[in-house]
Amino acid sequence: MILSSFFAALGQIGDPRFRRVLLLGFALTVALLVAATSGFVWLIGYLTADSVTLPWFGEITWLDDIISWGSFFLFFVLSVFLMMPVASAITSMFLDEVAQAVEDRHFPHLAPADSVPFGDAFVDTVNFLGVLIGANLLALVLYLMFAPFAPLIFWGLNGFLLGREYFTLVAIRRVGRVQAKALRRAHIGTIWLAGTLMAIPLSVPLVNLLIPIIGAATFTHLYHRLTAAPATDRTSSYR
């Protein structure tokens, strides 16, 4: 079920709506990371004195430049690391368009789904982003403590988070928030395993930017396969 959902999603990767969400998510991700980097470097420069006086060396005026450039490269490295969770979270805000594209092509018999209000989608995105970044930063400790198992920890952690979030967002469109959470609990093993399949390519640069799109499409297929929604069912209103 998981593999068939994944390959069905992969077969639709050329869909114009997929490309639109990919480009939009990438642009917003880069803009957010550039803004955060610029703000961080500016803050470091603001808090650093223009010059310091050291014994034997006298007044030094270039120390703040070194700190600013060092901060820039540090945040740049962190940005590369954070690219995945940020892109995943931002893409989740436009998941409705990906899910609708999948349903239009593979499940045309279904009644129209309820759109998630933009305000709720934005709040969900911010919460998801915070959880993803926080969890991955905390996991750095585990990566260092258990270095040989770092890839497994990364895949397991992000697989759980991605699966949990994407399945819930897909299900909300059809059955509402309360029932979506109930379905997630009932199928948590399958969802976690499918999320881990999505998380494995996250280690590959550039390819990881496609994963949120493929993941959203995969979980749309997976949701319908798990629930086998009848064609005559009407969607419940968004809760």
Evaluate whether residue 51 is within a structural domain. no
69 domain residue, yes or no: no
139 domain residue, yes or no? yes
Domains in the chain, number: 1
Q: Is 208 exposed, middle or buried (0-12, 13-18, 19+ CB in 10 A)?
A: middle
Q: In 3D, which of 52, 71, 72 has the Cα closest to residue 63?
A: 52
Nearest in space to 110 (alpha carbons), one of 172, 174, 166, 171? 174
In a domain, 74, yes or no: no
In a domain, 67, yes or no: no
- Digitized pLDDT (tens) for each residue of the chain, 239 residues in all: 888 888 888 888 888 888 888 888 778 777 777 777 777 666 666 666 555 454 555 455 555 556 555 655 665 666 556 666 666 667 777 788 888 899 999 998 888 887 777 777 778 777 887 888 788 888 888 888 888 888 888 889 988 988 998 898 889 888 888 999 999 999 999 999 999 988 888 767 667 778 888 888 999 999 999 987 444 343 443 34
Residue closest to 189 by CA, chosen among 205, 220, 167: 167
Is residue 148 domain-resident? yes
Read off φ and ψ for residue 205, nearest 5 degrees.
Answer: -55, 150
Q: Domain limits at 187?
A: 2-18+83-227
Provide the residue type at 8 as one letter: A
In a domain, residue 207? The reply is: yes
Distance CA 166, CA 152 (A): 21
**What is the crossing angle of helices 95-106 and 211-227, to 10°?**
50
pTM for the model stands at 0.73
Length of the chain: 239
Neighbours of 170 (CB within 10 A): 28
DSSP string for 67-94: HHHHHHHHHHHHHHHHHHHHHHHHHHTT
- Is 170 a domain residue? yes
Q: Is the dihedral of CA 208, 126, 34, 71 positive or negative?
A: negative
Give me the amino acid identity at 32: L
